[in-house]
Structure 1
Amino acid sequence: MSMETDNPLGTFLRDRRSRMDPVAFGFGGGRRRTPGLRREEVAQRANISPTWYTWLEQGRGGAPSADVLNRLAAGLMLTEPEREHLFILGLGRPPEATYKTSGEVTPRLQRVLDAMPFSPAIIKTATWDVVAWNAAAAMVLTDYGKLPREQRNILRLMFTNPGMKAAQEDWRSVARYVVGSFRADAARAGAGAEIATLVEELSRLSPEFESLWRDNYVAGHADGLKRLHHPEHGLLELEFSALAVDGRPELGVIIYNPATPETAGRIQSLMMRRADPSPAD
């Protein structure tokens, strides 16, 4: 079996150090047998024992700790995807999540939403703040653009907005599912501290939320069926799918597709009215 197959962690470390310029990091250039940093130089940058680093490259000494891998990632100036790959090779899992979000969505992501004219779609953070939406979402779900930024939160709307509550066919079941999915998303993203204030606020404002939160129910949020009562077009049946955003683990996309021909027709009617709001003669 080749060394690359037998010790992929060592192969990855050797490859990354071979790409680094010694002079740029204050090490003498001179004549070197191989390109990049020496093992002892990587160990120095990562503040670990040169012997331990050598063993890692040679596949000896057992699995490294998460702390050692984080030091190596910093010393080798790995990108976030490279750091995640390092953890998977070294420990068989990604690094523990550390929540961070700018709340900004690129124009490219917005264009993805806008390319679905009859499928409501939103982008939310792990704390369920809605940070982007398309025109169909504004017509069918909520016109987030008319809300203050701090009010564009799915949990806050679900438990404090009477119109949102009235639109749900079985509000209690939907609310339980939403709270369980929210709990799972926040924990997965390492956002426990970030949701504390929202949880405290909603527990104070809504006895229903407080009861559901104390229940500790956890749910997935991959896909399902949503039934909404639109004030003008009646029942809308929507299939939803939750998708991740590559490179932005703190964001998720939810797309709602019409589940029946009747719903598709009603959404198209809504969107046509939006495009031509003038009353008929």
Structure 2
Amino acid sequence: MAGHSDLGRFLRRCRADLTPEAAGIAAATQGRRVRGLRREEVALLAGVSVDYYTRLEQGRHTSPSAAVVDALARVFRLDAAARAHLADLARPARRGSQQMPAQRVRPAMHQLIASMTEHPALILGRRTDVLASNALARALLTDWTLLPPRHRNYIRWVFLDPGARDAFPDWPTVAADVVGTLRLYAGRHPDDPRLGELVGELSIKSPEFRTWWNGRHVHERTHGTKRMNHPAVGPITLRYEALALPGDPDQTLFVYATDPGSPSHDNLRLLGSLTARTRTAPGRAASTPSPRTHEAPGASTTGPADSP
């Protein structure tokens, strides 16, 4: 019943966040103790009985129909990502946790992102695990190859590495969105045991993660803009595109670019030059300029994040 317990929690959060005014209800203020909707109000707007909706919130109903899911998404005014998450939570629960096979990036994809010398690029897998990255991405963000395999995870870096807070002037927005991305994954893969380990670790070590994870924000990264401040070259504003890899389930290629002729473009080119110079300096191991701090650096390995 874990999946439907998650469904109930999500519905309660949606109901608490939606005011009667936003839902188009002329609410009487007398006797109303909370700002959100009452169960009977949600049931009325969705066209279901109060008992039926109560059972959904309590996890006692196991198979809400697609029509009910659509009606609730309409009532709560969910965007496309949150609507998809609601549909995932409403699927029949699977039995027990299942160990997932390790993810591998195809050699051709490694070669592709390595050839992108002017564009940072990385491939994220399940739970935002960093499966592969090119030299410019490691210089821009952090050198994942210096971390133990199980620590090569984007959301873990965002919350537990002090360098990530310095990297993003809009860190709270970036961090909240990546929590929403992880929540979207959790709805699709509720039986992933590694997900539970990651959420548990972040909940213990980060009060911000714990607060946002208890919310309902869902976010799907398809494209957007990020502002960064790099210690070696200064501010950089990047546009990114997220490309799902159809032949590799749960793998997404992220490619970053800057506007030609902009200061950000010049700063990214400078970072690329510094990176190339550092990598080719005689007598020095390949590295990135001005590496950001890590919580727990380990031996330099290059295996994927799911490696044991």
TM range (shorter): 0.5 to 0.7
Structure 1 Cα separation of the partners of residues 219 and 203 of structure 2: 19
Task: Report the residue type matching 1:135 in the other structure.
Answer: A
Structure 2 Cα separation of the partners of residues 231 and 148 of structure 1: 24
Rg comparison, structure with higher value: 1
Q: How far did 1:229 drift?
A: 0.5
SS in 2 for 1:276: helix
Q: How far did 1:190 drift?
A: 5.3
Structure 1 Cα separation of the partners of residues 118 and 189 of structure 2: 30
* Match of residue 71 from structure 2: none
Structure 1 Cα separation of the partners of residues 189 and 115 of structure 2: 28
Equivalent residues in 2 for 1:22-33, closer than 5 Å: none
* Match of residue 51 from structure 1: none
1:248 pairs with 2:262: no
1:136 pairs with 2:152: no
- Contact kept, 8 Å, 1:126 with 1:191, in 2: the verdict is no
Structure 1 Cα separation of the partners of residues 152 and 99 of structure 2: 19
CA offsets 1:111-162 (integer angstroms, 9 cap, x no match) = 1111211111111112111010011101111111111111111111111110
Q: How far did 1:192 drift?
A: 4.5
Gap change, CA 1:185 and 1:107, over 3 Å in 2: same
TM-score by length of 1: 0.61
SS in 2 for 1:225: strand
Gap change, CA 1:243 and 1:186, over 3 Å in 2: farther
Structure 2 Cα separation of the partners of residues 191 and 133 of structure 1: 27
* Match of residue 121 from structure 2: 121
Question: Which one scores higher on RCO, CA 8 angstroms, separation ≥ 6?
Answer: 2
156-165 vs 251-260, greater mean Cα deviation: 251-260
Q: How far did 1:191 drift?
A: 5.4
SS in 1 for 2:109: helix
- Contact kept, 8 Å, 1:105 with 1:131, in 2: the verdict is yes
Equivalent residues in 2 for 1:18-97, closer than 5 Å: none
SS in 1 for 2:127: coil
Matched length: 185
245-254 vs 226-235, greater mean Cα deviation: 245-254
SS in 2 for 1:199: helix
CA offsets 1:156-191 (integer angstroms, 9 cap, x no match) = 111111011111111111111110012113433555
Structure 2 Cα separation of the partners of residues 99 and 227 of structure 1: 37
* Match of residue 104 from structure 1: 104
* Match of residue 196 from structure 2: 196
CA offsets 1:224-260 (integer angstroms, 9 cap, x no match) = 1011110021111111111111221121111111245
258-267 vs 125-134, greater mean Cα deviation: 258-267
Structure 1 Cα separation of the partners of residues 147 and 195 of structure 2: 20
- Contact kept, 8 Å, 1:126 with 1:186, in 2: the verdict is no
- Contact kept, 8 Å, 2:136 with 2:275, in 1: the verdict is no
Structure 2 Cα separation of the partners of residues 99 and 113 of structure 1: 29
* Match of residue 208 from structure 1: 208
Gap change, CA 1:190 and 1:111, over 3 Å in 2: farther
What's the RMSD between the two structures over aligned residues? Answer: 2.4
Structure 2 Cα separation of the partners of residues 100 and 248 of structure 1: 14
Task: Report the residue type matching 1:266 in the other structure.
Answer: N
- Contact kept, 8 Å, 1:138 with 1:144, in 2: the verdict is yes
* Match of residue 180 from structure 1: 180
Task: Report the residue type matching 1:267 in the other structure.
Answer: L
1:153 pairs with 2:145: no
Structure 2 Cα separation of the partners of residues 210 and 155 of structure 1: 13
* Match of residue 269 from structure 1: 270
Q: How far did 1:99 drift?
A: 8.2
Structure 2 Cα separation of the partners of residues 173 and 274 of structure 1: 28
Task: Report the residue type matching 1:233 in the other structure.
Answer: V
- Contact kept, 8 Å, 2:136 with 2:272, in 1: the verdict is yes
- Contact kept, 8 Å, 2:105 with 2:132, in 1: the verdict is yes
SS in 1 for 2:217: coil
| Unaligned ranges ≥5, structure 2 | 1-92, 283-308
Q: How far did 1:101 drift?
A: 4.1
Gap change, CA 1:237 and 1:191, over 3 Å in 2: farther
